[in-house]
Amino acid sequence: MSTQQITKAMKMVAAAKLRRSQEAVMQMRPYAQKLNSIMANVSAGSSIDLSQNPYSEVRPEEKILIVAVTSDRGLCGGFNTNIIKAVTSLLLNKYAAQASRGNVTILTLGKKGTDYFTKADKKVISNFSTIFTKLNFEEARKAAERVMEGFVSKEFDKVEIVYNEFKNVATQVVKTQQYLPIVSLEDTAVKASATDYIFEPNKEEIVKDLIPKSLKITFYGALLESGASENGARMTAMEKATENAGEMLKDLRLSYNRTRQAAITKEILEIVGGAEALASN
């Protein structure tokens, strides 16, 4: 009974956190979409060559960074397991050659990922493993800047983020997204529209400032998606655990009553048998 009460309380806490994290995701998505739209409009039909931007430089994929976004705590179903499986699959398949040379680094965001990949003896950066203790844009910005600086300094040739994308309470989709080098706008779903902007100071400076800002927003958005997914997964897991506890209690009560009834019946039979034996004497 006490276990059922605990799981029920955890479900309620997760539900309350889910509402807040879901609101944050819903507010972030339009902002990120609008920023990408502005980027597409500003660069469309202009003489700006985005490929010359340091964050767009395509190099031979020798040194890889995988950002693994997990949670700090468990009891959330397959939330962390799915991320670990996706990262492991990248290590064994897509980046097997680089991994064999020790050229794949994992930046873990969340204690569960840090614990797993550290024990698995992987090359781990865990400076931001507690980022979800107090998730906000400032903390996400620091982690994003670490990744961006690593790419510009050629510490990494390619960066991918693996996280859970929030769909609804019961559905979280593992997403592997190329973070750096940035994907060409022609390769994305963002389409430029005929918008007339007044540029101050000039278009080149604006694009130069928008790209790093867009990267930081994308990084923060992935963390918000993961946070909402975690709460949704924990709410679903605790709801199922509460139901299972109820079923177990029902089975235990039935088993107890049957055993008790059998013991009473046995005692009655023994009393009756003893009485009959005395009567026959």
Catalytic residues, which ones? 76
- 100-127 in b/e form (b: 16+ CB < 10 A) is eeebbbbbbbbbbbbbbbeeeebebbbe
What Cα–Cα distance (Å) separates residue 277 from each residue in 114, 155, 266, 281? 74, 93, 16, 7
Per 3-state DSSP, the chain is made up of helix, strand and coil in percentages (nearest 5) of 65, 10, 25
Q: Are 90 and 160 in contact (CB under 8 A)?
A: yes
Beta bridge partners, 35, equal none
Residues 27, 153 contacting (CB under 8 angstroms): no
Give the pairing type, strands 104-109 and 64-69: parallel
Q: Angle at Cα 129 formed by Cα 128 and Cα 130, nearest 5°?
A: 90
Contacts of 205 (CB under 8 A, 6+ apart): none
Residues with Cβ within 8 Å of 82's Cβ and at least 6 positions away in sequence, in order, are 164, 172, 174
Contact criterion met (CB below 8 Å) for 108 and 114: yes
Q: Which residues on adjacent β-strands are paired with residue 170?
A: none
